[in-house]
Structure 1
Amino acid sequence: MTSGNVPTLDARIERWPIEGNFTISRGAKTEAVVVVADVTQGNTTGRGECVPYPRYGETPEATLAAILSIKDAIGRGLNREALQAAMPPSAARNALDCALLDLEAKQIGIRIWDRLGRLAPHPCVTAYTISLGSPETMAAATAKAAHRPLLKIKLGGDGDGMRIAAVRKAAPDSELIVDANEAWTEANLEQNLAACANAGVTLVEQPLPAGQDRRLAHFKRPIAVCADESVHDRASLGTLRERYDAVNIKLDKTGGLTEALAMADAAIAQGFDIMVGCMVATSLSMAPAMLLAQQARFVDLDGPLLLKHDRDGGLRYDGSLVYPPEAALWG
């Protein structure tokens, strides 16, 4: 940070209604609950947004408290590098990391990718998510999105063969990726993978529960398998190479863009394909991930498309093509 006025930190919980509902194997929700951090120095404010995830024991209230617990340290000049050691990887650290990056870019007057020595992001195709439901419900939702080049299909265990067959029939030309959200078992793993292969699915995310995925290393996988809940940051990459072909990098898991970029570099060096993922949230959550998208085989940054409305000045979406953020939004 530059010298001058003492930096201040504020944070708040925001709720953004979802268009319809969003259903995965762990349940459904009708709103996105995010926590936003603002770090202000002088007349300049940097912003970051995160999504607390109950799967990892996070709540909006606890995340807000964790962010505000760093308030005094921010006032004493805690910078982004020191933040990595001051807080564990979490949604809270993500919001702070991204806010500090945004502030840094605005104070210097250059885009954050130039500051970090990264390639300027270009528009990329994002997946569009089809929620879990009956085969008929999913086929109907898929038919409405069949013009999109990449669809992400939420599956949930028993009956997934019928679901993916119905989806494929409704979208014969779209590339399909599947997210099981840990809902498959060793008993139905091979059957469900075969059904996905028969439907021409390109990738399956997290078929088995994290910590119970050793079976993936002991047979020839008919399609690529991606770790999500099994991978969080660089430290979790080492044991996964025999089980997974790709890793899903999400800023709320890595604790911010700083670790996410380092993790992407490490994952590529170890031979993994990269997927960039998101939670359902506004464009302020997606914007930093656009830097990661430049290294990714799969981009899943459709969170704002699932909301009734996005925040003002959000990312530009042209169908499934998502454009880099304007400076006023982030970075």
Structure 2
Amino acid sequence: MARLKVTVKAEKLPLQKPFRISGYVFDAFEVVLVTLSDGEYRGRGEGGGVYYLGDNASAMLKVLDNAVTLIAEYPSREELRHMLPPGGARNAVDCALWELEAARIGIPVWRLAGKSAPRPLRTTFTIGADEPGAMGETARCYTQASNIKIKLTGELDLDLARVEAVRAARPDVWIGVDGNQGFQEKELDALIAGLQAQRVALLEQPLARGREADLDGLRSPIPIAGDESILSLDDVEGAVGRFDVINIKLDKCGGLTEGLMMAQEARRLGLQVMVGNMGGSSLAMAPSFVLGQECDVVDLDGPIFLARDRHPGVAYSGGKIWAGAEVWGGAST
């Protein structure tokens, strides 16, 4: 088989306005774009890395530079899982391999993955941490949203005021909150009680990665999702008894190949499945859209924060996301 041409490019995707979560403020998404070509067909993938692990654009470029010769040999997706570590670099290559393989065979990626034809998915629309009044106003502006996710910062009283403001603005919506590792074990009872009072349906990653044992024995009426605690397939089994939901992000686990494996393992263990994103353009959302077809919670709103998305891009309508074959993974690519 002929060698692949491997093209790697770092890009900075500016945001419309700064976006704040616990411990971080973002003004752009830094991504790496990988394109693989066999001379006739091409495949593309976008990796955004994992900021809290130091997996940024420069780190991804280093991983790819060291592996470019091996990638050019056209490894299988399973070989790639053992060739590169989980993270944004492997995600970009893995997604490029999916699209290239689908194009060569002449079928869309969803069919290559053995899935049914995709449907639009109800997605969350995220509100970055801000003053309660400002967050309530953002919620009102999300007129099409039926699912809203609120970023918290670990400031208990302020965070509960934030949730109350959003609930007052949008009494009709499903609300989930994301602690982004900002809370302490001793705050959980008060946090959960306050969230329950506002009809919050999901609490994501309240405690720091490494503090998972602090959740042992916790009886929460609100399902708890593991995000930073659940990076890859190796972490899924350890979620049992501590988390009710695992949040799969392709940048964390290293691509759609492992993401699908994680979803299957989670189901086997009786866990619910969520698909999320580390930010990025429509090219990053589209592979996750394939995974999202079998998820209980979908959080694929990254492009709505961009000053400018790629074209063609995913479509948001009626609170749902649609990623057509023209965005990524189509048979005609």
User: Taking structure 2 as the reference length, what is the TM-score of the superposition?
Assistant: 0.95
Question: Is the CA contact 1:147–1:174 (under 8 Å) kept in the aligned structure 2?
Answer: no
What is the match of residue 53 of structure 1? 50
What is the match of residue 93 of structure 2? 96
What is the match of residue 245 of structure 2? 246
Deviation digits for residues 248-306 of structure 1, max 9, x if unmatched? 00000110000000110000110111110002210000001111111111100000111
Question: Is the CA contact 2:125–2:148 (under 8 Å) kept in the aligned structure 1?
Answer: yes
Deviation digits for residues 187-231 of structure 1, max 9, x if unmatched? 211111111111000001000001113222223112100000000
One-letter amino acid matched to 2:118: P
How far apart in 2 are the matches of 1:54 and 1:304?
18
Identity of aligned residues (%): 36
What is the match of residue 222 of structure 2? 223
Question: Is the CA contact 1:313–1:329 (under 8 Å) kept in the aligned structure 2?
Answer: no
How far apart in 1 are the matches of 2:255 and 2:327?
20
Mean Cα deviation higher: 274-283 or 157-166: 157-166
**2:147 is matched with which residue: 128, 145, 150?**
150
Question: Is the CA contact 1:205–1:228 (under 8 Å) kept in the aligned structure 2?
Answer: yes
Question: Is the CA contact 1:146–1:171 (under 8 Å) kept in the aligned structure 2?
Answer: no
Deviation digits for residues 217-246 of structure 1, max 9, x if unmatched? 223112100000000122111222111100
The 5 A counterparts of 1:183-194 are 183-194=182-193
What is the match of residue 76 of structure 2? 79
How far apart in 2 are the matches of 1:301 and 1:30?
18
Does residue 273 (structure 1) correspond to residue 272 (structure 2)? The answer is yes
Report deviation, 1:141. 1.4
What is the match of residue 203 of structure 1? 202
How far apart in 2 are the matches of 1:169 and 1:147?
17
2:80 counterpart SS class? helix
User: Taking structure 1 as the reference length, what is the TM-score of the superposition?
Assistant: 0.96
Question: Is the CA contact 1:125–1:299 (under 8 Å) kept in the aligned structure 2?
Answer: yes
How far apart in 2 are the matches of 1:15 and 1:181?
23
How far apart in 2 are the matches of 1:74 and 1:147?
42
Which stretches in structure 2 are left out of the alignment for 5+ residues? none
Report deviation, 1:75. 2.5
Question: Is the CA contact 2:88–2:251 (under 8 Å) kept in the aligned structure 1?
Answer: yes
The 5 A counterparts of 1:1-331 are 3=1, 5-158=2-155, 159-327=158-326, 329-331=328-330
Question: Is the CA contact 1:39–1:100 (under 8 Å) kept in the aligned structure 2?
Answer: yes
Which stretches in structure 1 are left out of the alignment for 5+ residues? none
2:180 counterpart SS class? coil
One-letter amino acid matched to 1:199: Q
How far apart in 2 are the matches of 1:162 and 1:76?
55
One-letter amino acid matched to 2:281: T
How far apart in 2 are the matches of 1:102 and 1:329?
7
Question: Is the CA contact 2:248–2:274 (under 8 Å) kept in the aligned structure 1?
Answer: yes
Relative to structure 1, is the Cα distance of residues 284 and 241 closer, same or farther in structure 2, using a 3 angstrom cutoff?
same
How far apart in 2 are the matches of 1:154 and 1:207?
11
1:19 counterpart SS class? strand
Q: Please provide the CA RMSD for this pair.
A: 1.3
How far apart in 2 are the matches of 1:146 and 1:78?
45
Relative to structure 1, is the Cα distance of residues 213 and 328 closer, same or farther in structure 2, using a 3 angstrom cutoff?
closer
The alignment of Structure 1 onto Structure 2 pairs a total of residues equal to 328
Deviation digits for residues 42-93 of structure 1, max 9, x if unmatched? 1221000010222012120120121232221123332222111111111110
Report deviation, 1:115. 1.5
How far apart in 2 are the matches of 1:78 and 1:226?
34
How far apart in 1 are the matches of 2:248 and 2:328?
22
How far apart in 2 are the matches of 1:322 and 1:147?
11
Report deviation, 1:6. 2.1
Deviation digits for residues 122-171 of structure 1, max 9, x if unmatched? 11111000000121221121221254100010011122111111111111
1:202 counterpart SS class? strand
How far apart in 2 are the matches of 1:52 and 1:75?
22
